[in-house]
Structures are given as structure tokens and as C-alpha cells.
Homo-oligomer: A and B are copies of this chain.
Amino acid sequence: MSKKYVYLFSEGNESMRGILGGKGANLAEMTNLGMPVPQGFTVSTEACMKYYENNESVSPELIGDIYTYMIQMEEMTGKQFGCPENPLLVSVRSGARASMPGMMDTILNLGLNDLVVEGLAKLTGNSRFAYDSYRRFIQMFSDVVMGVPKSEFEQIIDCLKTKKGKHQDIELDEADMKHILKEFKKLYFRHMGSDFPQEPKTQLIEAIKAVFRSWNNERAVIYRRMNDIPSSWGTAVNVQSMVFGNMGATSGTGVAFTRDPSTGEKKLYGEFLMNAQGEDVVAGIRTPQPISELAAAMPEAYEQFLKIADTLEKHYRDMQDMEFTIENGKLYMLQTRNGKRTAAAALRIAVDLVDEGMITEDEAIMKVEPKQLDSLLHPQFDIISLKQAKPISSGLPASPGAACGRVYFTAEDAKKAGERGEKVILVRLETSPEDIEGMYVSEGILTGRGGRTSHAAVVARGMGRCCVAGCGAMKVKECEKCFIIDNHVVHEGDYISIDGSTGNIYIDVIKTVPAGISGDFARFMSWADKKRRLKVRTNADNPKDTEQAVAFGAEGVGLCRTEHMFFVNDRIHAMREMIVSRTAVQRKKALDKLLPMQKSDFTGIFRAARGYPVTIRFLDPPLHEFLPCDKEEIEAIAVSMGMTYDELNTVVVSLHESNPMMGHRGCRLAVSYPEIYEMQTKAVIEAALEVNLNDSMSVEPEIMIPLVGDVNELRYVKKIVTQTADKIIATSGMKLSYKVGTMIEIPRAAVMADEIATEAEFFSFGTNDLTQMAFGFSRDDASKFLDDYYAKGIFESDPFARLDTAGVGKFIKLASDLGRTTRPDIKLGICGEHGGDPSSVEFCHNAGLTYVSCSPFRVPIARLAAAQAAIKSEKAK
């Protein structure tokens, strides 16, 4: 028997997400629950992967299967595909295992052709509806399947409306529709050189192929990369018999959530449009009514919907996001899925569901996407600054948080500005999936059209960006790069402020402050903390960041980089003196100036860490980073240092390196100039002694030697540290424990970790450098070619953002295992930027590390990710 690639909805169930995709599995489940679902079938994700294996072609066997299932659909519906008398029309929709809203393609009303449309008109007695449906189908099919630009079709409609002085599509009548249809078909012929395909079976197979293809369209690839979705999953295709929300006054369509996706409040939340198809709601072109108004408009359907919503939430034990259509008064469920929600809502829903007895604490922990917590920690407006500001208008509060930045009108401009380091507010009439990268770099998004379920709103919530949507008062003039609200004209580059929690829009620059953390948060995180085994530390180079991180739950500092301290204005001079020294004596003199500054940094950090361990990494970057590089700067600094230009320039030139990443840095500096680490040791030890004495603390500093590749390097440098430290401690007459360990960031160190662990009391995996050197990718240069890697499917994610667990992970495991052979109780941590990435945290949990360390704002993310990892690995047992 050949493999099964097609499933009726009645053949599937919720557990078959992997092959049916999320949408297909849920349609099957709703079918099983006896809910009113327009019937159909799902072409599996395996068929999609087969399509790619066969050089993007669909096998004759699969085509045969699809036709067979069409016949079954005809039997179930009592309608016939391509039959004008009683036509079966279908929708063709993508549906991957993970929800990827708007990323892939949908075609509605498939099965219409020149004859069928006449039949449909007769059958429904609604010619305008029939022709409107056909023209929608032609438009979608041409765009999605054939790549004929949607905008050219829109132009035809706009042109007609202008000619006839109409504003809304709905004002166009049957004759107009017929005219449009004729023009659409001409346009199609112009582009394709052939007539619009009349054979419904051909339409169907081409549509299915188009959905398969859309799995690899650019925005889907980007979305997957941002959301860690493997390309090998593929998408399923759902073929479902059409129901029509645009059949007249007793028809409509809507989307609703069982709880408020912004706040988590337990109440039905959503919107609907009468006499419309689903695309009208999602696209946000018409502004819909709140769901509660459906009670008055269609009480029976509303009651039925309420019951279904309740059943679904209880069944899935999670907040549901549902799509429905009412056709001539009859309710149909088109989709249900666990709803996307803001972080605040996610927390509240998780906590409420536990309180409602619906889920366990562990299940609650698994329900919140760690990355989302980020948005909770993001800025809100400073109250005083806000009081002085007056909104010039408001829109829908579509994604919470506040933002202030410069206005840009295209995703591309926004992206460029973001790359320049500007804070950006992206302003669009409405957003589309093409805008996703521009949205990503923006602080906030402001749109002129669309509701809280529009593309802009959904995506912004997912990304944790603040969003104000559907500000009807705003006239966006993209071509002139400005927008107008009343008599305010705001140009590209002007500052505005928006509040995604109130919907307010300001032309003032309003200060933002970090978000307060709610009670739900504390309660929820306490569950996570109970569960996790991994400790979470922070990367912090100063007392302020350390304090912030400890407030966010950090259990110490995993990485305090000492070089950042030297860039501060009054210190860089002493640092430069040190660098241009020609003798050890000169160098020591300069270092003596730096000593008290370093010491005061460390006392501050030790105090802020409140007794938690602090790991201090000694000087790491190549020395030339501290020197000026252009002629004028060198001249100016030479004067201030009492040197000639030539003298200083000679030093600058002598420090130039071909590949500074792999040059004279890290412990290699200490091998050449031991006095640098001597000074740093003094600063650490003296600071610890002082804090322990004055603040009655018991700091045990952890000194971390960077860039070690061989045990001899560490042995040599450690001796410098311990000799210096032990002398100071002995002189002080006090007791002080300290540890000396190393970063594992050189590939050779990973494979020599057994030897290195004989000297190192702890390892901290520097996954940034380890990734660079394991791949041989210079982080500064790799962006030039990594885009080609994504485009050609060679890489699915950025190894600098998401730990490459297969390769770099192997180094970590290898080093951990080897390290434990010679030092069984070795402390193992990770301090690269991966420390705050949830999938990387999961890897660290599984590799048996002691802690992860990440930037302060990622601490809660790491705490939650660590708890989820613990739960997952418990389950796997």
C-alpha cells in the first residue's frame, strides 16, 4: 500500500499536528467534537517535503489521491466540483505545525469559472455576490499561484470607483463586478499569455503547489529564522468547502479570543464584520465591530458561538483564537488555535488557568513563551514626562508598551535607520508580511487602518513591540514621506511617541522608564524558580546593571568584562599611557593610575551583587582598540600624551593586526605584559577585602582568564594572579577565598579541557567567540554572506543568536565531559549572548551546566527557559 498523504478532517485529530499542521489538526479535532466545521481534507506536511524532494513537483499518485478525496467531499457536501448547478467551492489554505500567521498563502472560492459563476448566481439568487466571489478568486489565484501583482488588480477597482465616484467596494453593483471581471481576465492574459484556467481540478492542483511553494517564500523563511522553526517541517494544505460570510445581511465573519490577548482578562474578545469574507477582517481594510455586538445582531449564532468557545477553551485548556463565518444565519467554525497573546496576558492566563484548576503549575510554565517576557520589561512612559505631553490623536491599543523614536514610512527605511542605531517608529497605512523586518527593528508601530487582530497588531504582540493600530485620523502620505493628523504634519525622521497600552499618539519626545513587574509575574516566576536546576547569572560591567539584574532575579554576575571600564573618558588616557609604554616600569606607572579606578568599580559591583558570586574577566581585547585610528585623532592624542605624532603613530601601526579577532588579546596580553593582570588582581582582591570588611559581606571573587587554548597559558597567568592575590591577602591579615578559572572559547581549549581543568576551578563557555572560531566566521564580516546562506537554505538560524547545538554544542559537551574527568566538581557556565536565548538555555540544562549568564533584561527569560527545560527533560525520562 502506498503512503497516505491525504486525510479527511474526520480522519485526523489534535495529536496529528506533525503531519496535518496546526490548522488541519484543529479542524479535525473540532470535527470530532461535533462542531459545525465545513468539511474537507488535509494534504499532509509529508506531501510538502516530498514535493521539495522531487524538485518541486507533485507526483501523479498524489494528484490521484487528491481527486479521490474531492469525490468524498462531493459526497459529504452533496455538491459537485465544477458543476454550475450545485457547485462545490473550496478554500485552499496553508497550515504548518507551528502557527505562522500571514506568512503563507490562502486562496478562497476556488472552483469558480465562467460557467460556475453563473450557476452560483442563479443558485444564491445573488449575482453581485457571485461575481464578487469570482473576482476575488481571480485576484487571489493570480497573485498567489501565478505571481501577477495584486496591486494591478486593485488599480482596476480603484479606477472604476473613481470613474463612478464611489468610495467603498461595497458600493459597486453587479454590472461593475462584471466589468471588473472582464478587466481582470484581460490583465491575466496580458501577464500570462493564456486565459485564466477554467478547469477547477487544474486550479486546485496549482493552488496546492502554490501553498507548498509559499513555505519557502522569503517572509516565511525570515519568520522561521526568527522563531526557530525548522524548514524540514513543511506545511500542510487544507482544502475545505467554502462557506460565505458575504452572502448578505444575515451573513458575516469574525475572529475572537476566549480571553483578552492584551491583558489576559477572562472575557470573550474579538470582532466581526457583517457581509464580509475572512480576508476583510484579517487585512484590516474595513474596521470591524466588537464581538459583543454580535449578540444583538445575531443572537442565536452568538449563543452557539459562546458555547463553542467555552468548549474549545476547556478542551484545549488554553486561550483559543477562533475564526468563524455565518452563512445565511448558520454558524461555521473555520479555525481554532491557541491564541497569540502579550506577555502580560500570557502570565495572567497561565496564572488564572492554574487558579481555575484547569492546568498544573508545570503546564502553566510551559504556556508562556520565554522570549515574550522581554516586552514586560520594556519601557513605559515616564509619568512626569507624560504629564507634560498631550496626545494629538489615538488609535487602537494593539500591543502594549511605550516607545519614542523617529518616524519612517517603509520597512526598508526603518531597517536602515535601525542599523544606524536610531530608535524607529514605523508608520504605515497598514502593514503586510513584507514589512516584518522593518517592524522588527522598530520600537513601535503605528498604522492608519486595521483592528487589534490586524497583521500589524498580531505581529507586534508576537515581537513584543508596542503598536497603535487603526488611527483613522491619520493621513499617511508614503510618497511624500509624511503623515498628517489635523494640522500636524510629521515628516520622516521627526520624533513621535506612541503608547501601545492606551493607543495615544504624541508628537512630543517622551522619556520612557522600565516596566514595573506585576504580581502575576512574581507568582509565575516563583513557580519557574522552583522548577529549574540551572542557575541564572547576568553579564554586567557596572553596579547599575548588576543591581538591575539582581532585581530581575539574577543569582550573581557570570561575566563582568573589565575592558568597558577603560573606555570611560578619564580612564582612556591612563589606559593609553599604559599601551604606549616602552618598558615594564613605564607600564606599571600607568597601571598604578588605573588601579584605584578598577578597584572602585569592583567594590560597587560586589555591593550590588549582594553576596552572589561575581565572575570578573580580565582584560580581553587587543590593545589597539584603545588607541585612535584616524590621523586627526592621533595628532590630538599625541599632544595630550606629550608625544610626537610619529611616535604615537608608530605604536598604532605596530599594533595593527591582520585578524585582530585571532591576535594579541586575552591571556596572550598577560603573557607579554604580566603587570596588567597583576594590577587587575590587586583591584579585585583589594575591593573584595574592603567590601568584606566595611559591608560585612563575604565576597568570593571568581577571576576569569580569557582566551586560554592550552593549560600552560593558564598555568603561567594563574601564577601571576595567585602570587599577587596571596601576597595582598597575607598582608591584610584577613581571610579571603577566591577562584581562578577560564573562558572556554578557543576550540582547542574545548578538546584539551581535561588538562585545562587541572588548573581551572571553573569554566565559562564564551559562546560568542567559540561560535566565531568553531565556524571560522568573523562576526563582523559574516553578515555579508550569511544572508546568502539563509536564502539558499544552508543555514536556518543565525548561529550568533541561537546556539549551534549540533556543532558548537558538541564542543561544550566535550569540554564539560573532559573537564569533569580531572575536576569532578568543576563549575560550568555559559556567558555568551546565547545565555538568554531559550533554545540555548535548554541545551545548557541538558548539557549539565551549572549556570547561564545573560544580559540583565534577559534574566527572566533565562529563568523561565531553564524551568521549561527542566520540565521537558523530566517528561522525556
Contacts and interface: CB of A to CB of B under 8 A. Distances in A.
Interface in A748-806: 748, 751-752, 769, 772-778, 780-782, 784-785, 788-789, 792-795, 804, 806
Given A713-B794, A776-B707, A807 B659 contact: no
A863 interface: no
Contact of A776 (B658, B662, B782, B792): B662
Nearest to A669: B785
Given A662-B661, A662-B778, A788 B672 contact: yes
Nearest to A622: B781
Nearest to A656: B781
A810 interface: yes
Q: Which of A659, A745, A806, A814 has the most CB of B within 10 A?
A: A659
Contacts of A789: 671, 713
B752 A810 contact: yes
Contact of A807 (B662, B752, B769, B811): B752
Nearest to A752: B807
A747 interface: yes
Given A752-B810, A807-B751, A659 B716 contact: no
Given A671-B788, A788-B672, A794 B659 contact: no
Nearest to A787: B672
A660 interface: yes
A716 B663 CA distance: 32
Q: Which of A671, A808, A814 has the most CB of B within 10 A?
A: A671
Interface string A664-677: 10001001100000
Q: Chain copies in the assembly?
A: 2
A752 B806 contact: yes
A746 interface: yes
Nearest to A769: B776
A792 B716 contact: yes
Contacts of A114: none
A581 interface: no
B810 A778 contact: no
A820 B752 CA distance: 23
B660 A660 contact: no
Interface in A157-174: none
A789 B713 CA distance: 8
A856 interface: no
A806 B789 CA distance: 33
Q: Which of A745, A778, A795 has the most CB of B within 10 A?
A: A778
Q: Which of A662, A663, A746 has the most CB of B within 10 A?
A: A662
A793 B671 CA distance: 10
A206 interface: no
Contacts of A710: 794-795, 807
B795 A774 contact: no
B778 A671 contact: no
A750 B663 CA distance: 23
A672 B791 CA distance: 10
A57 interface: no
A712 interface: yes
B659 A661 contact: yes
A382 interface: no
Given A712-B794, A748-B774, A776-B709, A781 B671 contact: no
Interface string A642-668: 000000000000000111111110001
Nearest to A745: B776
Give the secondary structure class of A's interface. helix
Nearest to A809: B751
Interface string A710-730: 101100100000000000000
Contact of A658 (B671, B775, B780): B780
A716 B775 contact: no
Contacts of A772: 662
Contact of A775 (B709, B775, B814): B709
A775 B748 contact: yes
B659 A793 contact: no
A747 B806 CA distance: 13
B747 A776 contact: yes
Contacts of A712: 793-795
A747 B769 contact: no
Nearest to A784: B664
Contacts of A781: 657-660, 662-664
A795 B668 CA distance: 12
Interface in A810-827: 810-811, 814
A780 B659 contact: yes
A671 B784 CA distance: 12
Contacts of A780: 657-659
Nearest to A813: B751
A752 to B, nearest CB: 5
Contact of A778 (B658, B716, B748, B769): B658
A579 to B, nearest CB: 14
Contact of A785 (B661, B672, B716, B748): B672
Contact of A657 (B664, B773, B778): B778
A785 B707 CA distance: 14
Contact of A659 (B707, B774, B778, B792): B778
B660 A814 contact: no
Contacts of A747: 747, 773-774, 776, 811
Closest 9 CB pairs of A and B: A659-B778, A747-B747, A662-B778, A658-B780, A663-B781, A748-B807, A659-B661, A748-B774, A657-B781
Given A657-B784, A659-B662, 4 more contacts: A657-B781, A662-B782, A709-B774, A748-B776
27 contacts: A657-B778, A657-B780, A657-B781, A657-B784, A659-B660, A659-B781, A661-B662, A662-B777, A663-B778, A663-B781, A664-B785, A671-B785, A671-B789, A707-B776, A709-B775, A709-B807, A710-B795, A713-B789, A713-B794, A716-B792, A716-B793, A716-B794, A748-B807, A748-B808, A752-B807, A769-B776, A773-B776
Interface of A: 657-664, 668, 671-672, 707, 709-710, 712-713, 716, 745-748, 751-752, 769, 772-778, 780-782, 784-785, 788-789, 792-795, 804, 806-808, 810-811, 814
